[in-house]
Amino acid sequence: MLGIDSFSVGIIGVSLLIVMVVLGVRVYVAAALTGFLGLLELKGWHVAAAVSGMIPHSKTVTYPLSVLPLFILIGFLAFYAGLTSKLFEAARRWVGWMPGGLAVATVFATAGFAAVSGASTATAAVFSRVAIPDMMKNGYDQRLTAGVIAAGGTLASLIPPSAILVVYAIIVEQSVGKLLLAGFLPGMVSALIYAALIIFMCKWKPELGSRVTGFTWKEKFESLPGTFPIFIVIGVIFGALYTGAATPTEAGALGAMVVFSLYALRAWREKAISLMRKRLHEALMETAKLTVMIFTLIWGVFLFVRFLGFAGLPAAFADWVVSLEMAPLLIMICILLAYAVLGMFMDAIGMLVLTLPVVYPAVIAIGYDPIWFGIIVVKMAEICLITPPIGLNCFVVAGVSRELRDSDGKSLSIPLQDVFRGIGPFFIADVLTVAVLLAWPDIVLWLPRTMG
């Protein structure tokens, strides 16, 4: 054994974890290994082995965590049911007349799809296939095209059902239902700021993106029935959560049942039962893969969290933050800046599960609301999804675009560097959104306070 005090062991453990993550070791492996070695040093073999053996089971069987696969399944079912293309077409007909109309339509369509999908990367992948061909055909700047899709995908992190909000609730032991409701209005504010930015940019430089006109009122209204399934699912989930008629898990099950029923009805009408079975299998497999990935990350990180608790780091950090002679708002800004830097090197969920055990007690100690902080920190995680060098949504957009061809067979591939350049204005929009939520916290807290 090292023969040093617990706090020093904790510092060494955190440093070891950071080094492994920077070297490219998977977050769950780095966290689990560091946690196990730390427990071995502090408490010996028997405690380290017992904790390592119990956590995968004890953290999996918790009821709140059961909502994750259901929310993820809703998104994949909606995609394979073809609801996304109809949503985009409706948005295209209704708001295409604005400057940069197709880009604005993409923002509103991604916001709508986010309400039935819990994964940002899935939303970015879906709309890369749906929106890139149409925007490029209409002469849109490819940087704007890539940027709006990558940024629009991040809306799934805030708008319920959000997988990352569920992970936050599990880690800090807060109400999943309240957090999901709290994300709705900030998600809408973020979408509106994106849309306003696009309109301003295309008004200032019309060559970035043209208007799409020529749709009659009849054609606009004809596009609406295709969006009804999305709004039915939103109504079921949001209504169940807001009224308290169902738990988040029950609301997720209801939403999945509604999407599946609509999908099965469509397949029956089109006599495509065999195709439905194939796509249902694909949706279930994709759901299982993403769920296992998130669960594995949670197992590894909770082992690390247990080690931090024994080392006393969270309490020590909270005491240090409280002792600072600084305004709480200034402390919060410093914490958010640290998240912005950390997010350049880590994925969103990994960043949250590693930092919250230390940061959360300090934030609560200086008087901030845990629900409000959850939305703020998840918004910061959204920013991490579009910032280099680990901006996952940017990699998704660039990767999917390589598979796309126009009607003449020409590649629609968008280089990764252009994707990262395209998200620049949306990064500024996200900073503005965070500032709005800092200035007016009631935007976050109003809905949770009024829920049944």
207 is in which domain, residue-wise? 59-270+312-450
Q: Is the pLDDT of residue 327 over 60?
A: yes
pLDDT computed for residue 190 by the predictor: 93
Name the domain boundary from 259, 283, 311.
311
The closest alpha carbon to 303, from 4, 31, 25, belongs to 31
**pLDDT over 80 at 64, yes or no:** no
Same-domain check for residues 70 and 171: yes
Query: Which letter, b or e, does each residue of 15-39 get, where b requires 16 or more Cβ atoms within 10 Å of its Cβ?
Result: eebbebbeeeeebbebbbbbbbbbb
> Does 249 fall in a domain?
yes
For residue 59, what pLDDT is reported?
66
Q: Are residues 376 and 247 in the same domain?
A: yes
Whole-structure pTM value: 0.82
What's the structural domain count of the chain? Answer: 2
Tokens of 340: 């912005």
Choice among 99-113, 118-132, 211-225 with the minimum mean pLDDT: 118-132
Please report whether residue 107 resides in a domain: yes
Asked whether residue 28 falls in the same domain as residue 83, the answer is no
pLDDT in tens, 342-363: 777 666 777 787 788 888 888 8
Mean pLDDT along residues 383-406: 80
Q: 153 is written with which tokens?
A: 């995908």
Same domain, 304 and 419: no
**Among candidate residues 311, 341, 370, the one where a domain is terminated:** 311
Residues 149 and 35 in one domain: no
300 and 214 within one domain:
no
Q: Is residue 275 part of a domain?
A: no
